[in-house]
Structure formats: structure tokens, C-alpha cells
Structure 1
Amino acid sequence: MNGRLPLLFAALISACLCFPPSPLSLEELGSDIGIQVFNQLVKSRPKENVVVSPHGIASVLGMLQLGADGKTKKQLTTVMRYSVNGVGKVLKKINKAIVSKKNKDLVSIANAVFAKSGLKLEVPFVSRNNEVFQCNVKSVNFEDQNTASDTINQWVRNETKGMIDGIVSPDSLDSELTRLVLVNAVYFKGLWKSRFQPENTKKRTFNGADGKTYQVPMLAQLSVFRCGTTSTPNDLWYNIIELPYHGESISMLIALPTESTTPLSAIIPHISTKTIQSWMTTMVQKRVQVILPKFTAEAETDLKEPLQELGIRDMFDQSKANFAKITRTGNIHVSQILQKAKIEVSEDGTKASAATTAILIARSSPPWFVVDRPFVFFIRHNPTGK
């Protein structure tokens, strides 16, 4: 077939952000594009929960970059600000550190390329993806859309310990045109270093971004945490706190406006990897009463539009996409980049599959840190800053 063929890219990742020292390191650059995508999504969905994964976005774009050429590759490297081929060893080291058993908290990352049966892939693309992203190639028959989607979704279920039921539907696969589906999945399970006692969980008022109030279960504990207050360049103040998981390699960071009259959307555009790095030096240990919603958040997002807004356009255009380094058997383009995410926060800790960067609800005035209106949180791997 001579026409341009769609490449469906499915991404499932647990949100891990990068906070190494300035100037921006590779880990920060990987996170920075994820935060830019997050900001684009918040703009278009100001009153919705937004759940994305910076690490996942960087991973899927990195896999695509290895197969891109010409202007398509230039757009990817320009927006990502690094070449995967130039930093492959470092990326491999970072991913290895994130899933290390030294973390104590469980993190698993898996990548796969599901290719049409008989499709000839370029050897360097397969070998580099395997070397850098530990990505395996699996052969599927896309002409049988139901079986193909079941195969991909079963892989996703296995890799996310059943938290994500599926990422592709039979309808998202074209029996004649689909050639590849690339998937990245992450599972995270962490226990709090300082556990919230179930007897302290009570229903409290939660002020939604839609202007309505809700009665929701809130976790509560009085303990010592690293926290602080900082401001945007236009002097909008907001509070920050770090809640470590028991292995102390991974933490949850929460930020919310200090004043209840300041919308979360006013501070989000100012959050970047550089900003988050400054949080780490601003926070100090304090004894505080933390009130945090017990919640489960789930979202499925097509990242095509926000990536196009950032300047990655040609790979989605069937007349311009250049993935000659993936296969020379017909021209292919990206039809979708999908990311599905789920996170559960409870008294014991957090379970997450795919993305974990969400907007929920919050208010605070130390020594109380009360999360009862929209807030943003990140999960961070401390040793790598990823």
C-alpha cells in the first residue's frame, strides 16, 4: 500500500518528575516537556482533573525519535532538547535506577512495540530501542482488530498489575493501515514513611473547581514534614509540602495557593523543573497537621493536540511524517499518542499506573496543611530527580 500509514502510540506511565540542580540536566529536560504538556492540557480543561506522566511522555517521544528522520526528527529533538542517540547510556542508567530494588517502594517500567505480522523493521531501530528503553518487539495481526487489541490490553494489564484495564479499543486499530503500536507502561506502589491512621480519616468539605462543595474522606495526621511557602514572579503565594514514601527514594510533592481566592490555574503556568528545584531548597522541616483527600483519579488523554501546540507537528501529518528509520515498507505517521493513568492515595500510601500529575483540591495555613480545594502534585524519584 502506497499511502501514509498510521502509527498508534499508546503511553502508560507513572508520573515521575525531575529535579536535579541547574543548569537543566537530561533528567530535567525529560520532565520539562511533560510539564509543558501538562500546562497545555490544564489550559484546555481548567475545571477537570488532569493526570499525565512527564517520564512517560519523554519515554514515548524518545522511542519515536529513534525512528524519525529529517524535519520530523528535528522537531522532536528541538522540543525535547536532547538527542536520544547521544545520551542513550544515561537514559538506560536513569531507568535502571528508578526500578532498582534499593528504592524499597515498587516501581516497574515496561516498553513494547507491537508490529504488524510480517512488517520488516529497520535493525538499528529495534536494537537501539531494546538497548536504551529495554523495548521488545511483538508480532500481532492487526487485520483481526479484536484479537490485536486484546493482546495489547492484556500486556498492559499484566504490566500495571491490573490497574489499567486497557489502552486501545478495536476501533482505534485500522485493520488495513495500522502497522505499529508502541506502548510504555509504569506501575508504582509506595507506602507512606509516616502512615495516616485509618481512625483519623473523616469526611470533610472539599471545594471543587466547579464551584460546588463535596463531602469526601480526608486523611489526617500531625507529624514532621518538609514544607514551605513561595511565590510566582507576579507575587501569587502558594504552599508546598513533601510527603516521603517509606523507602525515602520517592516522594509526593503537593503545591496549592496560599489564599483560597487564588485559583490553581494562576500558579500552574509558572511551574517548571527549575521552579520545582527551587522548592527543594525552600522547604524546611516543620511539625504540621496534614489533611489530604483519600482519592482515586483516572484519566485517558490523547497527547496529539498539546504536542502539536509545542511544535511537534510533522509526525502527525501523513504527507510530512518521516519515520524512514523505523521501516522502509511504506510511509507511516503517528495517528494518536494515548496516555491512560490511574492513581490511588490512601492511609497506607499510593498505587499508580501511568501518569500521576493531577489537579484536585486544597487550602493551607501552617502549621495546618489542609488540602480541600484544587492542588497539583508530583511523584519524584529522589536519587535521580526523575
Structure 2
Amino acid sequence: MKSLFFLIFVIASCSCAVEFSSRARNFSIELLHYTQKEKEGHVVISPFGIWSLMTGIALGAGGNSRSQLSRAFFLPSNQFTIINGYQNLTRTVLDPTTKGVTLTSKNFMFVDRSFTINPNFEKIMLSDFSAMIRNLNFKEPDTAAKIANNLIQGSGASVSNVLRSDDFEQSRMILTNVITFKGLWGSPFNVSETNVESFYDENKRKMGEVNMMYQRAQLPFSNIQALSSLILELPYGQDRKYCMLILLPYPKVKVEQVYANLQKVSFGEIFDKLQKDINDFGLEDVDVKLPRFKISTNIVLNKPLNSMGVYDIFDPNLANFKDITNEDIFVSAIVHKADIEVTESGTVASAVTSAYFADRISTPNFEANRPFIYFVMEKPTRTVIFGGIYSTPSVF
């Protein structure tokens, strides 16, 4: 009887090799699209955290299990290329020299004492993925959870109680990734300018109210017709290595339509357009209104991954993890937890009117008072660290 319960917990906390990076980036857009369809509302996920750990899992898979994971996660076939590319990308993304930004990603592997792992896979996770590995007695789930959570918190992660005792009851091995981002805006919002304002749907019907932050600042801003969106870049710190990219759909355009357009417009093209507008118009003042918000997501990723062609790893009769263990195992569930907090100081993730195509004689206006898409990104590699949708108003 096959039994393995993989859990991926990505805890995102925000106060706020390029060729290989495109693989993580392409996966990010597709996963965000299918996750949003599953949630139908607010959502935040960490594609980079998920991709990091699933890349490690793919190295332990064989046959169709490996093929499906490789296609979904845009992984090359050569193991050395995967490991080398992962390390180079991770080194770049997780190297925040930016003042005011902290970013950490930790991998953990908790193994039941009665479960035998292939020594080579254990070596890969330990050496190449920098995973902290611990053998625990899963038959004592309360104790196992306590030890695991202490190890996670003791590693420097700013989270607690990541794992519960019932996570261990039916498991043989648990793989966990914890990623934390904290960023201070390069141009912070003034708390005294925050006011309660209305929030609407795409058809200008009032949905509720939000604490709307405001600032007038020189920020990269553009209109991209191919996305049916206004684009705003909010840098963290001063060097623009990390930023929040906000896509505000035109009135009467749904966020789902913008996600579909992202299949045709790359992040590289978006940043190129932002830079072109800076070259053409200069870095001008923009009037920005953005809700202060906090979003939490807890979702099982099985269905979104099914939509991306990953099936066999979840089937006890088809799963192939020959490079992890000689035992018959499968993935019961992939659970993703994330949260994001956006405040004045930073982040703790087709009707068109003529105004959208006006020249820049007057101060551009970017008023996010309707559903929008956001990405917390490492800009040089175009890597999505967190991403999601703000769609339901709440006063935070």
C-alpha cells in the first residue's frame, strides 16, 4: 500500500543564469491563473517557494511522474542542469543587497524513523537544496510537530506553528518550504493621507470600503494596451532590485482577462515598456491610491497542478518516486499557505477611455479602487516571489 503525504507550506510575510529564471517565471503565471480560478477571490501565493521545493521533488521522480513535473515546472531533462540552474537562480533572487529588504527561503525535510530514503536523494536535498533534514517519530505526532516547528522557527523564519500534529499522522515524509519577504517602500505612503474610500467592481458597482493609501511620487508608470491595464512599479529600497508590480485592469475588464493576456505579454516586455516611458517622458510624478491590505491563502494545490498536467504523483497506482525510496509512495496533498501585508511603510506578493491614452501633460493618476493583480518581484531575473489578486474590499 502506498502512503506518503507531501506538504508544501509556504509562509509569506511581507511588510512592504537568466535563461533558467524564465522557467520559474513561466510556471508562476500558469499557477497563479489556475489558483485564482480555484479560489475565486483574494489570493496570494509564492510561486518561487513552490517552484523551489517541487524542483527538488522532481529530482526524486521517475517515468511519467518525472515527465509531468518537468513539463509543468519547465524543467530541463538533465539533472546537473536542473541543480546548477536552481542554485544560480536562488543565489541571485535570495541575495538582497537592497537596504530595507530581507528575503529568506528555507527547505526542510522531516522523515519518519521507519522510512528509508535513497542516500543520493538525501544528499541532493541536503547539499544542493540546503534542506534541514530531521528524522522524527511520526507515531508520536504531537511531539514530532513540536520539534519540527521549533526547528523551523529556530532557523530564523519569522513564522510559528507551521505544522500541526495531524500533518504527521498519515505521513511518512514531509517536505516544507518557508519563504519570508519584508520590504520597505523606496517611496513610502504617508499615514496621515490614508482615508476610508469606496472600492468597486470592474463595472463601477460599489463593493465596500477600504483604507486607501495615497502618495504623489516619481514612479515608473505605463499603459499597456495588450494587457488592457495600467501598470505601476513600486520599488523597495533605492536600487529597484525588488519591486511590487501592480496591474490595474481598465474599467469593465476582469482580472481573469488580464491573466489570459499575460500568456502573450512577458514581464520583460512590461519592464521594457516602463523603461521606455521613463526614457520618453522622464520619471514623472504619479498620483497613486492603493488599498492597505492583508491577505491570507490556504489552498490545496492538487487541482491547479492537475490543470497543468500533473496527475500521476497523486495516484497511488501510478506515482513513481524511485529515486527517493524503494517503498511505494505517492503525494496525498500539496498544501500551500501564504499571507501578505501591504501598509504605508512597505510590504510584510475592454472599454477604454481616452484618458488612458493621453500624453503626460497632466499628472498621471493610478487609482486602485477596483480589483487588481500584484506581483512582488526580483526584477533582474523577472522572478515572481509572491503574486496574487486583490478583489474583495475590507478595511485593514
Cα pair 2:13 2:181 within 8 Å, conserved = no
Compute the displacement of 1:208 (Å): 5.2
Aligned residues: 358
Residue 383 (1) aligns with residue 380 (2): yes
Q: Which residue of the partner structure matches residue 343 of structure 1?
A: 340
Compute the displacement of 1:170 (Å): 2.7
Residue 32 (1) aligns with residue 31 (2): no
Residue 246 (1) aligns with residue 237 (2): yes
Name the TM-score, length of structure 1 as normaliser: 0.86
Range 7-16 or range 48-57, more displaced: 7-16
Q: Which residue of the partner structure matches residue 55 of structure 1?
A: 48
User: What does the per-residue CA deviation read over 1:62-115, in whole Å, with 9 as the maximum and x for residues that have no partner?
Assistant: 011111111111111122222354231221122122222523310011001000
Q: Which residue of the partner structure matches residue 41 of structure 1?
A: 35
Structural mapping, 1:133-144, within 5 Å: 133-144=129-140
Cα pair 2:49 2:105 within 8 Å, conserved = no
Q: Check 1:166–1:288 CA distance in 2 against 1; reply closer, same or farther (3 A cut).
A: same
Q: Check 1:160–1:374 CA distance in 2 against 1; reply closer, same or farther (3 A cut).
A: farther
Structural mapping, 1:259-270, within 5 Å: 259=251, 261-270=252-261
In structure 1, stretches of 5+ residues that fail to align are 357-363
Compute the displacement of 1:158 (Å): 4.9
Which structure has more strand as a fraction of its residues?
1
Q: Check 1:5–1:98 CA distance in 2 against 1; reply closer, same or farther (3 A cut).
A: same
Q: Check 1:273–1:378 CA distance in 2 against 1; reply closer, same or farther (3 A cut).
A: farther
What letter corresponds to residue 373 of structure 1 in structure 2?
Answer: R
SS in 2 for 1:51: strand
Residue 11 (1) aligns with residue 9 (2): yes
Structural mapping, 1:120-135, within 5 Å: 120-135=116-131
Cα pair 1:225 1:287 within 8 Å, conserved = yes
Q: 1:367 aligns with which of 364, 368, 382?
A: 364
Q: CA RMSD in A?
A: 2.5
What letter corresponds to residue 140 of structure 2 in structure 1?
Answer: D
What letter corresponds to residue 337 of structure 1 in structure 2?
Answer: I
Name the TM-score, length of structure 2 as normaliser: 0.84
Cα pair 1:256 1:376 within 8 Å, conserved = yes
Structural mapping, 1:162-181, within 5 Å: 162=158, 164-174=159-169, 177-181=170-174
Q: Which residue of the partner structure matches residue 390 of structure 2?
A: none
Compute the displacement of 1:28 (Å): 1.6
Q: Which residue of the partner structure matches residue 216 of structure 1?
A: 210
Compute the displacement of 1:277 (Å): 1.7
Q: Check 1:102–1:90 CA distance in 2 against 1; reply closer, same or farther (3 A cut).
A: same
Q: Check 1:63–1:245 CA distance in 2 against 1; reply closer, same or farther (3 A cut).
A: same
Identity rate, percent: 26
Compute the displacement of 1:321 (Å): 0.6
What letter corresponds to residue 269 of structure 1 in structure 2?
Answer: A
- Distance of 2:142 and 2:179 partners within structure 1: 24
Cα pair 2:233 2:246 within 8 Å, conserved = yes
Q: Check 1:34–1:160 CA distance in 2 against 1; reply closer, same or farther (3 A cut).
A: farther
Structural mapping, 1:300-379, within 5 Å: 300-328=298-326, 330-351=327-348, 356=349, 367-379=364-376
What letter corresponds to residue 136 of structure 1 in structure 2?
Answer: M
Q: Check 1:171–1:15 CA distance in 2 against 1; reply closer, same or farther (3 A cut).
A: closer
- Distance of 1:189 and 1:142 partners within structure 2: 33
- Distance of 1:273 and 1:165 partners within structure 2: 40
Q: Check 1:152–1:305 CA distance in 2 against 1; reply closer, same or farther (3 A cut).
A: farther
Range 117-126 or range 373-382, more displaced: 117-126
Compute the displacement of 1:157 (Å): 4.4
Q: 1:148 aligns with which of 136, 144, 147?
A: 144
Cα pair 2:103 2:181 within 8 Å, conserved = yes
What letter corresponds to residue 323 of structure 1 in structure 2?
Answer: F
Range 85-94 or range 59-68, more displaced: 85-94
Cα pair 1:208 1:214 within 8 Å, conserved = no
